[in-house]
């Protein structure tokens, strides 16, 4: 048995460094290309891509959980946690650095999600989805009622700084754009490394057969707990970046329709490819923007038809277009 397993166990280890370096080169190349393109793009386009990257980070966390066979409908809670943390740190503590605010949003989301992770790791299917949805709606209700957090109107956030420097008026949108896509690129590369690691492959095994994973000595609950924590960090990070670009935070960040949009992106992307998550988020923003401009009263119908088209012809998401064997 050991002789049979030895080649298959050692072969991926030889290929892993080359694959990792290739992925890093592609990621850095994509970041450089987007940074250069953003310099010549109109403001509305850089803002659209900025929001797509921030929202894509939240959906990346959903994909992390989807690989384990569960779909959360409460990522809006973590999105709001990151956004409110960044805005409060700016307004109450006077902390204005964009990178620090983004990190604070991710850490705050992890702190909020950590107590619930062991409980949620026990559930699957509709139970997991409804529990996460309930947490998100409870958060929405609290944010609506707490006057200290702005109540139903939320509150504004000023312009952040970067490494101690004030952002110039003419290029503030472009700088936040570069910061957002830079963080998104770094998280995408880390997610790819995690998905290809032993822990990430165990997550796929959990999706296929939990009982077999337990028989082989793995811990299903531990794997799902870790995935939920990682998804929380991605959600808080995306929330903080979105609020810095919008300049405003409100309870709707935690509303169920917001969580549904993140799930929409995750389904559109599929779980095979990390890059597909951000591509799907951009596609959603483009479809929503142009649909609301040309069909202001029926743009939701256009989104629904678009999703039905993708499910019919690409049931495993956009990532199946270039992932080996993804279309089967």
On whether residue 27 sits in a domain, the answer given is yes
Residue 190 lies in a domain: yes
- Do residues 322 and 274 lie in contact, with contact meaning Cβ atoms separated by under 8 Å? no
Within a domain: residue 81?
yes
- Is 276 inside a domain boundary? no
286 found inside a domain: no
Residue 65: inside a domain: yes
pLDDT at position 106, please? 93
pLDDT by position in tens, the chain (length 328): 333 333 333 334 444 456 667 777 787 888 888 888 888 888 888 999 999 999 999 999 999 999 888 889 989 999 999 999 999 999 988 888 999 999 999 999 999 999 999 888 888 888 998 999 999 999 999 999 888 888 888 888 888 988 878 888 778 889 999 999 999 999 999 998 898 888 888 888 888 888 888 888 888 888 899 999 999 999 999 999 999 999 899 999 999 888 888 998 888 888 778 888 998 888 888 888 877 777 777 777 877 787 788 878 877 777 777 766 544 4
* Start-to-end C-alpha separation, the chain: 31
Would you say residue 8 lies in a domain?
A: no
Domain hosting residue 137, numbered range: 18-268
**CA-CA distance, 174 to 86, in Å (whole number)?**
20
Q: What is the pTM of this model?
A: 0.86
Give residues with Cβ within 8 angstroms of 166, minimum separation 6.
159
Assigned domain for 318 exists: no
Which tokens go with 287? 């479809």
What is the tally of structural domains in the chain?
A: 1
């Amino acid at each position: 048995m050991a002789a049979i397993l030895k080649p298959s166990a050692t072969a991926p280890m030889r290929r892993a460094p080359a694959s990792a370096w290739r992925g890093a080169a592609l990621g850095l190349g994509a970041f450089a290309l987007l940074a250069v393109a953003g310099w010549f793009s109109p403001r509305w386009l850089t803002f659209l891509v900025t929001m797509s990257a921030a929202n894509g980070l939240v959906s990346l966390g959903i994909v992390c959980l989807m690989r384990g066979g569960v779909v959360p409908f409460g990522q809006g809670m973590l999105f709001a946690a990151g956004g409110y943390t960044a805005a409060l740190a700016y307004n109450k503590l006077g902390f204005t650095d964009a990178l620090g605010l983004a990190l604070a949003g991710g850490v705050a989301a992890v702190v909020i999600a950590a107590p619930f992770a062991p409980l949620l790791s026990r559930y699957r299917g509709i139970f997991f989805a409804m529990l996460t949805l309930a947490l998100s709606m409870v958060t929405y209700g609290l944010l609506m009622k707490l006057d200290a957090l702005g109540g139903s109107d939320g509150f504004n956030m000023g312009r952040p700084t970067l490494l101690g420097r004030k952002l110039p008026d003419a290029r503030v949108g472009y700088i936040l754009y570069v910061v957002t896509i830079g963080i998104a690129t770094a998280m995408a590369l880390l997610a790819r490394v995690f998905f290809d690691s032993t822990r990430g492959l165990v997550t796929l095994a959990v999706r296929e057969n939990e009982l077999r994973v337990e028989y082989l000595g793995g811990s299903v609950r531990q794997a799902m707990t870790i995935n939920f924590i990682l998804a929380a960090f991605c959600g808080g990070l995306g929330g903080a970046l979105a609020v810095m670009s919008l300049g405003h935070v409100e309870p709707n960040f935690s509303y169920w329709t917001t969580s549904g949009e993140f799930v929409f992106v995750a389904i559109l992307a599929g779980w095979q490819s990390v890059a597909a998550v951000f591509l799907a988020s951009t596609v959603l923003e483009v479809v929503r923007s142009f649909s609301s401009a040309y069909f202001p009263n029926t743009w939701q119908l256009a989104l629904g038809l678009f999703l039905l088209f993708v499910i019919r012809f690409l049931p495993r998401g956009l990532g199946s277009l270039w992932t080996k064997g993804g279309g089967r």
